[in-house]
Amino acid sequence: MEAFVQGVSVHGVVQARSSFACSTQQRSAVFAAKSASASSRCVANGVTGLRATSELDQLKEMTVIVADTGDIDSIKKYKPTDATTNPSLIYAASQMPQYKSIVDSAVQYGVENSPNGASVSEVVELVRDKLSALFGAEISKIVPGYVSIEVDARLSFDYEASVAKAYRILKLAEESGLPRERVLIKLATTWEGCRVAECLQKDGINCNMTLLFSIAQAVAAADAGAKLISPFVGRILDWYKKARGVDSIPASEDPGVLSVRQIHEYYKCFGYDTIVMGASFRSKDEVLELAGCDRLTIAPKLLQELKEGTSTVVRKLGPPETCQAEKIEMDEPTYRWMMNEDPMATEKLAEGIRNFAKDTDLLDGQLAILVKEKLGAAVV
């Protein structure tokens, strides 16, 4: 276990079932049967192996594909099952002229539904939350699965404010036509964020734990019972390239890729139900090295590369033949100490929160201009 903890960071663990549902051999048999079934389907179509019209089509045979974008047109193009958004993506989408009507609707809602005497910043906050809900509702008309909506990153260390924000997002989403059962509330995987997830999950509200870079965060997410985790790949790679003083690392040796493989194996060993969704990819090769992961959230640029690629995609993740990992017990002092001892996770978590907060500030600035235009000089 010591090697497991000291090695590449592992992302997210969800509360284990009390007993293992089946043996490794049984799971391997099921995996083999599914692989055989997929093979026969390809042979029946006159194709050997898992060769399909594109790498993206092949990948969809073994992994649920999620669009990592707020651009509705891109989601329509690539037909993913789920979609994720974050402050940076919402800010980028809000700049596109084709979504002006959505932004205008959010501004109108915020102005009309803010209490008398509300400040511009208070109106803007409501507009921003409504905008996220409206984008989520539009996306839900295209994808059949989950839509992730992120809580304000500036609340990442504020338990009470994060809980309140999550419930407001859900209310606005439902008003916009997006049922709560299709929403994943995205939370930064701080200790406080995990406590928020624990509260929400007990109320039947599913959570997506993001900005996840370490085993400490993984176990904390596990104890919270989060529905889904988003272990980051590319940002881990960025850190290690800088630390090692190299320009590139082969995808098969990529620390971000290896970390997702470890957590996937950890889950399968202990029979966890949580969804592992690899995120933050820098290249198509990183994506293909995680073929077989429960879910992968992929940006439009890489989705296009996969759509154009025709090489045979090989499954890289499946049930492990042997299970050697040990259960890690986690409490707050342990979490904070393990994060202290992991410079990559500490730096990347803080950096991620800062960057999301910066883009939220930029979005608020843009919305403030629109709100002031709508209100004139009535609100100060």
Strand 183-188, strand 64-68: pairing: unpaired
> Is residue 313 within 8 Å of residue 47, measured between CB atoms?
no
CA torsion, ordered 371, 375, 379, 380, to nearest 10 deg? 60
* Burial class of 290 by CB neighbour count within 10 A (0 to 12, 13 to 18, 19+): buried
Q: Is residue 186 annotated as part of the catalytic site, yes or no?
A: yes
Q: Is 345 helix (H, G, I), strand (E, B) or coil?
A: helix
Q: Are strands 228-231 and 275-278 parallel, antiparallel or unpaired?
A: parallel
- Residue 234 backbone dihedrals phi, psi, to 5 degrees: -60, -35
Q: Which two tokens stand for residue 222?
A: 């596990």
The answer to whether the beta carbons of residues 321 and 28 sit under 8 Å apart is yes
Q: CA-to-CA distance for 20 and 280, rounded, in angstroms? A: 31
Question: Are the C-beta atoms of 205 and 180 separated by less than 8 Å?
Answer: yes
Residues 6+ apart with CB under 8 A from 325: 1, 4, 265, 266, 269, 270
DSSP strand E in 189-338: where?
207-212, 228-231, 275-278, 295-298
8 A C-beta contact, residue 344 and residue 9: yes
Residue 76 φ then ψ, to 5°:
-60, -40
Read off the amino acid at residue 117.
G
Catalytic residue among 60, 165, 186, 227: 186
- Retrieve residue 307's tokens: 């759509």
Do residues 11 and 231 make contact, with C-beta atoms less than 8 angstroms apart?
yes
Residues with a known catalytic role: 186
